[in-house]
Homo-oligomer: A and B are copies of this chain.
Amino acid sequence: MENTPVPIEVGPRDGLQNEAAQISTADKIAFIDRLSAARLPVIEVTAFVSPKWIPQMADAAEVLAGIARRPGTRYMALVPNPKGLERALAARIDIAAIFAATSETFSQRNINQSIDASFETYAGVARDALAAGLPVRGYLSTAFGCPFEGEVPVDRVVALSTRLLDLGCYEVAVSDTIGIAHPGQVRAVVGALIKVIPRDLIALHFHDTRGTALANVLAALELGIRTFDASAGGLGGCPYAPGASGNLATEDLLYMLQGLGAARDIDLDAIYAASTALEPRLGHPLPSRYVQARRATATRQSAARP
């Protein structure tokens, strides 16, 4: 969409959904308002899913009713089905997000549908959303590898990305769900995608599980990709838990992007303030390396090392 690299903030939804602690509606609203103050262009704020399945998102309508909407920020929510769309429209979201997988096993376990069945559902959601004037964003999960099926053929990633765009999505977020991607793979997957899909319809969604997220962003930037999902504080993964697999932290992404001269209009200090204000509610320190380093710099000085 923009020509300069931008972060898409997914902390309040993808991040919090994967935190063990229940966060109060008031805390979520305060968190989102602080993120808005940072001038982020898009914030994924909640999911209109069944509270039975994801109790953390049961207050979706209350969150959207409570936040102060900043002109210049668009508020996105995950909308998995027609019922969710109805609620989402009533709550006046700006963008609806739908969520497909590249592997049948992951699709079954994650959303209890085959890939084809999920696309049938999403076709209806996208049609009705667009008819109501609501832009739709597509996620394609496990695009760099599936925890159950392993390697995912690049052709399938291209085909399913195209299929999401064919539903009317303005953008597909090609997602490394298990944080396994490395720059060589980014070059292969993105290289194949941009042969058939315009670059500005492609976003990338990395997890920093193996420390490669920023290197992956750099590799993608060099291929002309400009949109990267990130989660304030690295929410969604706990550095103290085995299996921690946080989203790329918005602070870490911005530290790099701003070092490259991009995204300078976004207020990194305000994002740091938003994350660290929420941190006491999480039950663990934020995974963001930038946050950890910034905090440490205040307390520590040096060490004898190169």
Contact = CB atoms under 8 A, between A and B. Distances in A.
Given A110-B304, A139-B306, A304-B110, A293 B210 contact: yes
Interface stretch (A66-74, A88-96, A175-183): A175-183
Determine the main DSSP class of A at the interface with B: mixed
Interface in A136-178: 139-141, 147-148, 173, 175, 177-178
A141 B208 CA distance: 27
A3 interface: no
A249 B289 CA distance: 15
29 contacts: A18-B305, A106-B302, A109-B302, A110-B304, A111-B304, A139-B306, A140-B306, A147-B301, A148-B301, A148-B302, A178-B302, A182-B255, A183-B218, A184-B256, A185-B259, A208-B289, A211-B211, A211-B214, A211-B252, A212-B256, A215-B215, A215-B256, A218-B218, A222-B222, A229-B306, A236-B305, A239-B239, A242-B296, A243-B297
Interface of A: 14, 17-18, 54, 99, 106, 109-111, 139-141, 147-148, 173, 175, 177-180, 182-185, 205, 208-215, 217-219, 222, 229, 236, 239-240, 242-245, 249, 252, 255-256, 259-261, 288-290, 292-293, 295-297, 299-306
